[in-house]
Amino acid sequence: MPPLTVFSCGIGPLHPSPALLDKLAEAQSLYASAALLKECPPCNARRIPIGRNAREQAREALEEARQGGNVVVLASGDALFHGMGGTLQSLACDGDRLEFIPAPTAFQALFHRLGMPWDRVRCFSAHSTEEIPWGDILAQPLPVLYGGHPFTACRLAGEAIQFHPPAAQRSAVAAECLGTPGERILKGTLAELAREECAPTSMLLLLPDERSGAAPILPLGLPADFYEKENNLITAEEVRAIILSKLRLPAWGVLWDVGAGSGSIGLEAAALRPGLSVYGLERQESRLELIRRNCRKLGCVNYACMRGEAPEALAALPAPDRVFLGGGGAALESILQACFDALNPGGLLAASAVTTENEHLLYGWNAAARTGMFSLDIASESPIAGTYHHLRHGNRITLFTYSRA
């Protein structure tokens, strides 16, 4: 099939390059937004406006190219950053030939306008989504977010403050409509920018901030009162930190949190490792909304919770690289076996026990795969007799770890 050519159009109005004019002269079909089609020079190609059904139009463009058609796609901004190019690439099959022609990106243009190096920048997008990873964003010294509708740069400034109020005085830049007559660059604190209005075609850049408390704290062993929970049931913060350390969390892959409860273990894993896909399984409907609210509070977009009974519901989840199992009840042994069997090679399983019965079962189960047994006996300062203090012990927890060869 002839190559399907995707042109990134960068910022501002369309400036047809010689390469684009040559392609248009041969093109049989031209896919682009209505605005880009209006700016495109005359050609004999059939013109198809890209609208809300962009994914279906991407399939149509690929199929036309497979049938021998000469297809050109114009993409606003950078086609391979949350754009049409990425959609086409995700749908392409072996044998499909896609050619991508770059252009200066809006991110690149912004940093050049400011005269700032951007080798340490982390790029994010809030375009057409409500799932914004604020925990990850605000932890970065130099993050930039590409906005859209409804999340303009100025609205994003307000959302950042809502997620982490101490960030209100962090210095930031809002840029809109770069490369057009309406170009505007605003500098100020997040609080100041949140009071402004700007167009959907905008970006928000957060500048490094050395103030204490300006960034969220490390989401490891967060205080128990951070989480919403049922009947005050939650894994103690110190125990959480130890469990997560024993899971040896990879940068990417899949983690199961079986019997999620308040979600604290899986949520902290998701916040610590934004590239890890975390699935929380909880059988009680009343706890699912608690987990979702805790997830929003931590700003995790890589966490999904589902209602189900283990081990049956585990079949619907992708194969894990890590599993945490807290509890299990009468079905503990069958759940353990199902989790272990599902593990990818080299995967780890951690299971905790509070009762003597579960501890005995875990100790005797699959001893050849067991890599560790740990007794966690946490004591915290507590008042006694009015003016004195002592160390009050919580429930002793035994943690077992297993490895799949």
pLDDT above 90: residue 332: yes
CA distances from 287 to 19, 305, 309 (A): 57, 10, 14
pLDDT band with cut points at 50, 70 and 90 for residue 2: confident
User: What is the residue whose two structure tokens read 């609080």?
Assistant: 191
pLDDT band with cut points at 50, 70 and 90 for residue 15: confident
pLDDT of residue 50: 93
- State CA 314 to chain mean position distance: 22
pLDDT tens profile 163-172: 999 999 999 9
pLDDT of residue 310: 94
Cα torsion for 313, 318, 322, 327, to the nearest 10°? -10
Mean pLDDT value across residues 200-217: 93
pLDDT of residue 169: 97
pLDDT above 90: residue 22: yes
pLDDT above 90: residue 250: yes
- Answer yes or no: are the C-beta atoms of 270 and 278 closer than 8 Å: yes
pLDDT band with cut points at 50, 70 and 90 for residue 129: low
Query: pTM of the full predicted structure?
Result: 0.88
pLDDT above 70: residue 256: yes
Q: How many CA atoms lie within 13 A of 42 on its CB side?
A: 0
Residue 212 or residue 158, greater confidence = 158
Give the whole-angstrom CA distance, residue 207 versus residue 171.
6
- Answer yes or no: are the C-beta atoms of 288 and 229 closer than 8 Å: no
Give the whole-angstrom CA distance, residue 113 versus residue 111.
5
What's the one-letter identity of residue 333?
E
pLDDT band with cut points at 50, 70 and 90 for residue 128: low
pLDDT tens profile 360-401: 999 999 999 999 999 999 988 999 988 899 998 888 999 999
pLDDT tens profile 177-200: 999 999 999 999 999 999 999 999
- Average pLDDT score over the chain: 94
Q: Are strands 253-258 and 171-176 parallel, antiparallel or unpaired?
A: unpaired
pLDDT of residue 386: 82
